[in-house]
């Protein structure tokens, strides 16, 4: 029997992260899913699947990230998927936004995911994938204005920091993916979003799976199409 594949989903308490954990559980992977606080969604998933392990993590808390790294020291990951993110100051411009909102987004969406990748990357197998959830709004080339300027800036910063990470690992054999899931109905995406979690997540999972064994950094949408930086 081939060994089961393992994925770590960071930020899986609800929304897309919970959907990713559920999708990989259904595909019979070993799934390690993190929550900041006890998540009813993960609790329900754990009742359905024995292949789910729940861990506690706040991505912005360095001690919490280090503790999880120590707990997972003996694990080997086929996929590391950093999904955690926040959106604030939706209608604001740099002139009107609260500084604290911008700083929170830069810390949660840009700095902390890459710091986590730095600390966990040696757990990812040579043919594995390091994936981070970004957004189509991170694309500077596609920007036509008018949408969540400060959130977009934090995701563009995430993309830049992942590009810097990839540049520092020129001989890395793993795929490094920045994945945009589309506009999805979650607490963050809101009820007007055109996509359900069930419509986005399986495509994201397929795209990530297709990149196993394909080294290099890519910024892609849920279908795997390349997006302009």
Q: Which of 181, 201, 204, 205 binds ligand NAP (CB under 6 A)?
A: 181
Find the shortest distance in angstroms from Cβ 100 to ligand NAP.
15
Site string for ligand NAP, 35-54 (x = CB under 6 A): -xx-----------------
Residue partners of 7: CB distance under 8 A and separation at least 6: 24, 29, 30, 31, 32, 77, 78, 79, 80, 81
Number of residues that bind ligand NAP (CB under 6 A): 28
- Choose among 124, 34, 12, 115: nearest CA to 79: 124
Contact between 191 and ligand NAP per CB under 6 A: no
Q: Which of residues 77-106 bind ligand NAP (CB under 6 A)?
A: 83-86
Q: Which of 7, 32, 59, 117 binds ligand NAP (CB under 6 A)?
A: 59
Q: Which of 58, 129, 153, 174 binds ligand NAP (CB under 6 A)?
A: 58
Q: Which of residues 160-179 bind ligand NAP (CB under 6 A)?
A: none
Q: Are 161 and 208 a contacting pair, CB within 8 Å?
A: no
- Choose among 53, 27, 119: nearest CA to 82: 119
Q: Which of 33, 68, 184, 201 binds ligand NAP (CB under 6 A)?
A: 184
Q: Are 113 and 84 a contacting pair, CB within 8 Å?
A: yes
Q: Which of 6, 30, 108, 152 binds ligand NAP (CB under 6 A)?
A: 108
Rounded to whole angstroms, how far apart are CA atoms 154 and 142? 15
Q: Are 120 and 8 a contacting pair, CB within 8 Å?
A: yes
Find the shortest distance in angstroms from Cβ 134 to ligand NAP.
7
Q: Which residues pair with 54 in a beta bridge?
A: 33
């Amino acid at each position: 029997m081939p060994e089961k594949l393992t994925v770590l989903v960071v930020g899986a308490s609800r929304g897309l992260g919970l959907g990713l954990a559920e999708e990989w559980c259904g595909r019979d992977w070993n799934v390690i899913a993190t929550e900041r606080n006890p998540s009813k969604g993960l609790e329900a998933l754990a009742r359905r699947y024995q292949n789910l392990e729940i861990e506690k993590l706040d991505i912005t808390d360095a001690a919490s990230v280090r503790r999880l790294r120590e707990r997972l020291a003996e694990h080997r990951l086929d996929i590391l998927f950093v999904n955690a993110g926040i959106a604030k100051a939706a209608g604001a411009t740099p002139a009107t936004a609260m500084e604290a909102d911008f700083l929170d987004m830069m810390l949660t969406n840009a700095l902390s995911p890459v710091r986590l990748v730095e600390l966990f990357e040696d757990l990812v197998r040579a043919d594995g994938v390091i994936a981070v959830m970004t957004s189509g709004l991170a694309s500077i080339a596609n920007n036509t204005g008018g949408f969540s300027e400060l959130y977009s800036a934090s995701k563009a910063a995430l993309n830049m920091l992942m590009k810097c990470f990839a540049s520092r690992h020129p001989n890395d054999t793993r795929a490094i993916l920045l994945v945009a899931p589309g506009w999805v109905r979650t607490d963050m995406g809101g009820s007007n979003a055109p996509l359900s979690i069930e419509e986005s997540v399986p495509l994201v999972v397929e795209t990530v799976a297709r990149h196993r064994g394909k080294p290099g950094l890519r910024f892609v949408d849920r279908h795997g199409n390349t997006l302009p930086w």
